[in-house]
C-alpha cells in the first residue's frame, strides 16, 4: 500500500512561472494523494533575463503611487497570467480580478496589497487547474493592526477552515489585518505560509518545491558541484541561513519546529531527487565532518584594549550598551583578558563610527581602540564536528597553505559551528579551500 502521509506542498516562483511548469507541478501533486494542501508563489522568471511578477507588481504600484501612467506595466503583468491560463487550456476568466486590482492601484491601496496579487492570482489558476478549493490567505492568515503576525488566531482559523476541505490551494506571502488591509511577510514569505499551514493541520511533512535538488553544502558560484546535504537539522539550517545561504526563508522553520514537522526541500524539475530533509534532530550519521559552509562580506572589527579589563565588573555590558544605543546589531564578540573585539556590519556602522568611538571612550575609558574594515565572516557548520578532533587545525592548515591570514576565530559552546574572519579579498578562496579540506573532490575524505 502506497504511503500517503499528510503533506503541505509549497511551490516557488520558478515552479509556477509558466504553463509548462504548472504541468510539472500538477504531475507532482497527482502522484501522491497525501499532497492535499498546496501553497503557491507568484510566477517567477521563465528565463535568466525575465522579470519576476512580484517585481513587476512593485514597479507598477510605484508608477501608480507617483501619479504616472501604469497601464503598460499592468498589461505586462496581466499577459503573464493570461499566457498561463491559455497554455493550460483552462476555462477561467480573471477580468473582474484585474479590474479590481487596477482600481485598487489607482486608489493606492498599499504596496503590500500590490505585492500580494501575484500569489493571489496564481493561486486561483492553480486551484482551477488541480480541481482544488481556493482559500484566500487574507481570510485565514491574521495580523494585528500594527502588522504583527497573530500565531494563535491564525492557527485557529486555518484549522477550522481546512478541516472541512479535503484539498485546497492557499496563496503564500500574505494575510490581512483586522480592518481587511493586506499585510505581507518579508520577501520570500510564501515559505512561512507553508510552514504555518503545516502546523495548523498537523501535517506529517512540509514539502518545499523549488528549482534546486536540496540544500547545497556551499555556494555553487564559489565551489564547483557542491554536494547536496541529505539531512540537515534546524540548528544547522539557522547557522547557514544566518550567514547567507538561502534556499528556504529562515523564519519558515519556527512554526514546524514547534510541532516536530520535517521540511523536505525538493526540485520541481527533478522530482525523483530526494532533496534535503530538515529535521529537529537525527541519529543519521553525516557523510562528512562538516555539513556546510556559508559566509558574508562587509564587516568591520572594533578592538578595545584596556589593562585589567577582566576584573572590571560590567565592562562588556557598557560596551554593548553603546552599540545598542546606536541601533547597531553585533555579529560576534570574541574576547581575551585585556581585549574584546566587536564585529558589526560595515554598512550599518560606517556613518556612526566616530560617534560610537567617542561614546566607547566615555563609557569604558579604554587604553586603545583599533578598527579593521572590509572583513568577511565564514561559518563552518556541522553536527559531526562535535565528535571529531582537529577541525580547527584542518581549517587553519588549509588557509595557511593558501596564504590566507585569519583575522578572527570564534567557536560556539555547542561545537556546532566555527566562525572565522578573513579579509574581503580572500573570501571566495577561503570558502573553496575549506570546503576542499573537508570534502575533497575525489570523495575520499570520510567521517
The model carries a pTM of: 0.86
Would you state the pLDDT for residue 286?
76
Q: Is the pLDDT of residue 441 over 80?
A: no
pLDDT in tens, 49-60: 999 999 999 999
Q: What is the pLDDT of residues 319-361, one digit of tens each?
A: 999 999 999 999 888 888 899 999 999 999 999 999 999 999 9
pLDDT tens digits along 14-32: 999 999 999 999 999 999 9
Q: Grade residue 414 by pLDDT with cuts at 50, 70 and 90.
A: low
Question: 3-state SS of the chain?
Answer: CCCCCCEEEEECCHHHCCHHHHHHHHHHHHCCCCEEEEEECCCCCCCCCCCCHHHHHHHHHHHHHCCCCCHHHHHHHHHHHHHHHHHHCCCCCCHHHHHHHHHHHHCCCCHHHHHHHHHHHHHHHHHHHHCCEECCHHHCCEECCCCCECHHHHHHHHHHHHHCCCCEEEECCEEECCCCCEEECCCCCHHHHHHHHHHHCCCCEEEEEECCCCCECCCCCCCCCCCECCEEEHHHHHHHHHCCCCCCCHHHHHHHHCCCCCEEEEECCCCCCCCEEEECCCCCCCCCCCCEEEEEEEEEEEEEECCCHHHCCCHHHHHHHHHHHCCCCEEECCECCCEEEEEEEHHHHHHHHHHHHHHHHHHHCCCEEEEEEEEEEEEEECHHHHHCCCHHHHHHHHHHHCCCCCCEEEECCCCCEEEEEEEHHHHHHHHHHHHHHHCCCCCCCCC
Could you read off the pLDDT of 395-408 as tens digits, one per residue? 999 999 999 999 88
Mean pLDDT within 414-430: 89
**Domain spanning 292-438 has what CATH number?**
3.30.2130.10
Q: Would you say domain 7-279 falls under CATH 3.20.20.70? A: no
**Mean pLDDT score, 147-158:** 96
pLDDT tens, 238-262?
888 877 777 888 888 899 998 999 9
For 58-84, how does the pLDDT look when each residue is reduced to its tens digit (9 = 90+)?
A: 999 999 999 999 999 999 999 999 999
The pLDDT value recorded for residue 443 is 46
Q: Where in the chain is the domain with CATH 3.30.2130.10?
A: 292-438
* Arithmetic mean of pLDDT, 217-243: 88
Q: Where in the chain is the domain with CATH 3.40.1160.10?
A: 7-279
Give the pLDDT score at 412.
66
When pLDDT is cut at 50, 70 and 90, the band that residue 446 belongs to is very low
The overall average pLDDT reported for the chain is 92
Task: Tell me the percentage of the chain whose pLDDT exceeds 70.
Answer: 97
Amino acid at each position: 500500500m502506497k504511503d500517503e502521509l499528510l503533506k503541505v506542498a509549497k511551490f516557488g516562483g520558478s515552479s509556477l512561472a509558466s504553463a509548462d511548469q504548472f504541468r510539472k507541478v500538477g504531475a507532482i501533486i497527482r502522484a501522491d494523494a497525501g499532497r492535499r494542501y498546496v501553497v503557491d508563489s507568484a510566477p517567477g522568471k521563465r528565463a535568466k533575463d525575465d522579470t519576476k511578477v512580484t517585481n513587476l507588481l512593485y514597479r507598477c504600484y510605484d508608477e501608480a503611487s507617483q501619479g504616472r501612467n501604469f497601464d503598460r506595466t499592468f498589461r505586462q503583468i496581466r499577459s503573464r497570467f493570461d499566457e498561463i491560463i491559455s497554455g493550460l487550456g483552462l476555462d477561467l476568466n480573471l477580468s473582474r480580478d484585474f479590474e479590481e486590482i487596477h482600481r485598487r492601484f489607482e486608489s493606492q491601496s498599499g504596496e503590500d496589497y500590490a505585492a500580494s496579487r501575484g500569489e493571489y492570482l496564481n493561486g486561483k489558476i492553480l486551484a482551477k487547474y488541480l480541481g482544488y478549493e481556493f482559500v484566500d490567505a487574507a481570510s485565514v492568515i491574521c495580523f494585528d493592526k500594527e502588522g504583527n503576525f497573530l500565531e494563535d488566531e491564525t492557527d485557529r482559523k486555518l484549522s477550522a477552515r481546512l478541516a472541512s476541505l479535503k484539498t485546497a490551494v492557499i496563496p503564500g506571502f500574505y494575510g490581512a489585518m483586522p480592518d481587511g488591509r493586506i499585510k505581507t511577510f518579508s520577501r520570500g514569505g510564501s515559505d512561512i505560509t507553508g510552514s504555518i499551514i503545516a502546523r495548523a493541520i498537523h501535517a506529517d511533512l512540509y514539502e518545499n518545491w523549488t528549482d534546486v535538488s536540496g540544500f547545497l553544502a556551499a555556494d555553487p558560484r564559489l565551489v564547483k558541484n557542491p554536494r547536496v546535504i541529505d539531512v540537515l537539522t534546524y540548528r544547522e539550517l539557522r547557522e547557514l541561513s544566518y550567514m547567507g545561504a538561502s534556499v528556504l526563508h529562515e523564519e519558515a522553520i519556527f512554526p514546524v519546529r514547534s510541532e516536530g514537522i520535517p521540511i523536505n526541500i525538493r526540485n520541481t524539475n527533478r522530482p525523483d531527487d530526494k532533496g534535503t530533509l530538515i529535521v529537529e534532530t537525527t541519529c543519521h550519521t553525516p557523510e562528512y565532518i562538516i555539513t556546510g559552509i556559508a559566509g558574508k562580506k562587509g564587516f568591520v572589527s572594533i578592538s578595545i584594549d584596556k589593562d585589567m579589563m577582566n576584573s572590571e565588573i560590567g565592562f562588556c555590558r557598557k560596551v554593548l550598551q553603546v552599540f545598542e544605543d546606536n541601533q547597531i546589531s553585533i555579529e560576534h564578540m570574541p574576547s581575551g583578558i585585556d581585549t574584546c573585539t566587536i564585529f558589526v556590519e560595515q554598512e550599518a556602522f560606517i556613518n556612526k563610527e566616530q560617534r560610537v568611538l567617542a561614546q566607547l571612550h566615555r563609557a569604558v575609558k579604554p587604553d586603545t581602540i583599533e578598527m579593521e574594515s572590509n572583513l568577511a565572516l565564514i561559518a563552518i557548520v556541522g553536527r559531526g564536528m562535535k565528535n571529531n578532533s582537529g577541525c580547527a587545525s584542518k581549517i587553519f592548515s588549509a588557509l595557511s597553505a593558501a596564504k590566507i591570514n585569519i583575522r578572527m576565530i570564534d567557536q560556539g559552546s555547542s561545537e556546532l559551528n566555527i566562525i572565522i574572519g578573513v579579509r574581503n579579498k580572500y573570501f571566495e578562496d577561503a570558502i573553496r579551500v575549506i570546503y576542499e579540506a573537508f570534502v575533497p573532490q575525489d570523495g575520499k575524505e570520510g567521517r
